[in-house]
Amino acid sequence: MNCSLGQLVRSLAGRDKGKHYLVIGLTEERVLVADGRHRLVKKPKLKNRRHLQCYKRISKIIEQQLKQGQKLTDTVLRQELQYLLQEEASGKEDC
């Protein structure tokens, strides 16, 4: 399963099962995720790729900031996560 930076994901296993996050880092087998509220940018959760459901929604703002090495804030992360969840719930095609 391929996830990319800024992508909306949902946890499928663990204590956080069912919670939504945005991908803020990638390794070979694991993904760094944060939601800006419980999992902050400074202390992201390290999840196994198999334990995540990746959605088609990607935050271009988060992706751009991470690729350019800009500082990512929890406030921006929360706003983007909320926006993508609303888009997903409304069933719109691409953001």
Q: What is the dihedral of CA 82, 22, 44, 41, to 10 degrees?
A: -60
pLDDT digits (tens, 9 = 90+) for 37-75: 999 999 999 999 999 999 999 999 999 999 999 999 999
Tell me: domain 7-90, CATH 2.30.30, correct? yes
Whole-model pTM: value is 0.90
Sequence letter at residue 76? V
Q: Given this model, what pLDDT does residue 2 score?
A: 83
Boundaries of every domain in the chain? 7-90
Average pLDDT rounded to a whole number, residues 17-35: 94
Count, residues in the chain: 95
